[in-house]
Amino acid sequence: MAHRLDEQVAIITGASRGIGRAIAEAYAAEGARLCLIATDMARLQEVQDSLGLPAEQILTLSLNVRDRDACFAAVKQVEQHFGRVDVLVNNAGVYRAKSFLDYTPGDFQDLLDVNLFGVLHFMQAVLPGMQARRHGRIVNMASTAGKWGSRNQSAYNVSKHAVVGITRCVALEASPHNVTVNAICPGFIQTDMVEELKAQVAHSSGMTGEELVKAALSRVPLGRILNPTEIAGLAVFLGSAESSGMTGQSIHVDGGMVMF
Ligand code: NAP
């Protein structure tokens, strides 16, 4: 039986847990060959073991996406191992909540180093090969925080607005080469990051975690925190031939929280 990502070679960053792990599971189920990236090798190994793919169909690489040389070396290693990269899922990300007045320039730099520059390094590393082969799909993980303002997380929102912006700009330049670049904007998804958000925002706002969740969900028409698999489905679509007619888009998967 044919699968939606048969024979496709995909790099997924931030694949050791949360949304990235769910994307790795969905991509494996759809027949992709995988390179999984994160900093924590033990967790990556656990994901690799759980997927049960033949050893020649999966690579796990421990690297920090802030490190441009390491990102380029990883892409080179994948191209040597699998012959090419068809799909890049730029999912690795970090979160930190503070009021604007409490954030330091270092906080902004730190979030941009991972959430923007990690995305930029990997796109610049894969695009020459994708463009030469006239085939490629790039999926960047932005956020609803990349589309609107939120209190007490301006540095995170800035980094995710940057992901939406760079997705649009690179989509324009890559289109003539038949490479598409799209972004996903999740709302509240049940992962370690949303637990960090609850703890940090509750601390700064004086609410309990429960009060915070209630307030947050009052803005979500579907009324629940989503599951990582609900993001993985869109990541499969955007990485597959089914999305060949769309580029430069940033799509909300947020229970209806943002409607424009
Ligand atoms: P998570 O559970 O905290 O997982 C983050 C992933 O990124 C982990 O695999 C982590 O692996 C990896 N990572 C973090 N910094 C890295 C670095 N410097 N280099 C390499 N890997 C790094 O987060 P998540 O909720 O799954 O979030 C995934 C993406 O979705 C992020 O871009 C996030 O901003 C976005 N997002 C999440 C939500 C949400 O509600 N959860 C909402 C909107 C957008 P290691 O720890 O092993 O390095």
| 141 Cβ below 6 A of ligand 1 | yes
At residue 20, the pLDDT reads 99
| 195 Cβ below 6 A of ligand 1 | no
C-alpha to C-alpha distance for 92 and 127, rounded to whole angstroms: 18
The CA 105 to ligand 1 mean position distance, Å, reads 21
Q: For ligand 1, what atom is nearest to the CA of residue 44? A: 47
Handedness of CA 215, 218, 219, 221 (dihedral sign): positive
The CA 14 to ligand 1 mean position distance, Å, reads 5
At residue 3, the pLDDT reads 97
Q: Is 95 marked active-site?
A: no
Mean pLDDT for 129-138 is 98
What is the Cα 80 distance to its own chain's centre? 24
Q: For ligand 1, what atom is nearest to the CA of residue 115? A: 32
pLDDT tens-digit series, residues 162-180: 999 999 999 999 999 999 9
Domains of the chain by start residue, with CATH: 9-189+226-252 (3.40.50.720)
* Catalytic residue (choose from 27, 95, 103, 156): 156
Q: For ligand 1, what atom is nearest to the CA of residue 21? A: 9
| 96 Cβ below 6 A of ligand 1 | no
At residue 35, the pLDDT reads 98
C-alpha to C-alpha distance for 121 and 216, rounded to whole angstroms: 33
Q: Residue 206 pLDDT > 90, yes or no?
A: no
Confidence of residue 207 (pLDDT cuts 50, 70, 90): confident
Q: Residue 114 pLDDT > 80, yes or no?
A: yes
Confidence of residue 134 (pLDDT cuts 50, 70, 90): very high
At residue 224, the pLDDT reads 97
Q: Residue 203 pLDDT > 90, yes or no?
A: no
Mean pLDDT for 199-221 is 88
pLDDT tens-digit series, residues 3-22: 999 999 999 999 999 999 99
The CA 114 to ligand 1 mean position distance, Å, reads 10
Phi, psi of 214 (to 5 degrees): -60, -45
pLDDT tens-digit series, residues 53-94: 999 999 999 999 999 999 999 999 999 999 999 999 999 999
DSSP string, the chain: ---TTTT-EEEEESTTSHHHHHHHHHHHHTT-EEEEEES-HHHHHHHHHHHT--GGGEEEEE--TT-HHHHHHHHHHHHHHHS---EEEE-------B-TTT--HHHHHHHHHHHTHHHHHHHHHHHHHHHHHT-EEEEEE--GGGTS--TTBHHHHHHHHHHHHHHHHHHHHHGGGTEEEEEEEE-SBSSHHHHHHHHHHHHHHT--HHHHHHHHHTT-TT-SPBPTHHHHHHHHHHHSGGGTT--S-EEEESTTS---
Please state the pTM of the whole predicted model: 0.98
